[in-house]
Amino acid sequence: MKHIVISIFVLSIFLPLSASSSTNDLALELLLYVKTDITINDNVKKRSDDVLSGFEADIRNQLDPNFELPESLRNEIRDYYIRKMSWDNLQEEIINLYTDSYSERELRIMYKFYRREGVSPDDTDLVQQIGIKMGAIQERMRALISVSGKDCFSYADKRIRAYLSGSSTGQSI
């Protein structure tokens, strides 16, 4: 979660939407420069394992103290989670989030800032505006991640319930 917050912070310093191709490219370059893709993908792998462990713990506590998910089901759910929550899947929405929020000039200022190239005194007013926008972008990013996370949780719940009931359809027990 800490890395997601850091990624959101980093992301919130980078991009405007409904933008030209060059603005989208700039936003992507900024996000990759601060390693947003790596942070998101690393967090997704850990989070998928945490979710699966949580399901197993609940089943152990409620039904069978020796329960373990079969490796095939564990892999299926992990793969789904990684697909839905990965950088590759979220990249376009994240770029759009930033290009909607920041002008190309603001993106360039952020890029210079992160590359430690300095910010012109003429851009000081924009730096303040970038900071003000950051909170709203962080909230939108949390919402985006939350929606994808809920979908993954529902999928895992459905598949595990199907497994426990001996069904392959995934209907609730």
DSSP 46-86: HHHHHHHHHHHHHHHHHT-TT----HHHHHHHHHHHHHHHS
Question: Would you state the pLDDT for residue 168?
Answer: 53
Which of 104, 111, 89 shows the shortest CA–CA distance to 30? Answer: 111
Mean of the per-residue pLDDT values for the chain?
Answer: 79
Q: What is the mean pLDDT of residues 141-160?
A: 89
Question: Would you state the pLDDT for residue 90?
Answer: 86
10 confidence band (pLDDT: 50, 70, 90)? very low
pLDDT greater than 70 at residue 119: yes
pLDDT greater than 50 at residue 172: no
Does the reported pTM lie above 0.75? no
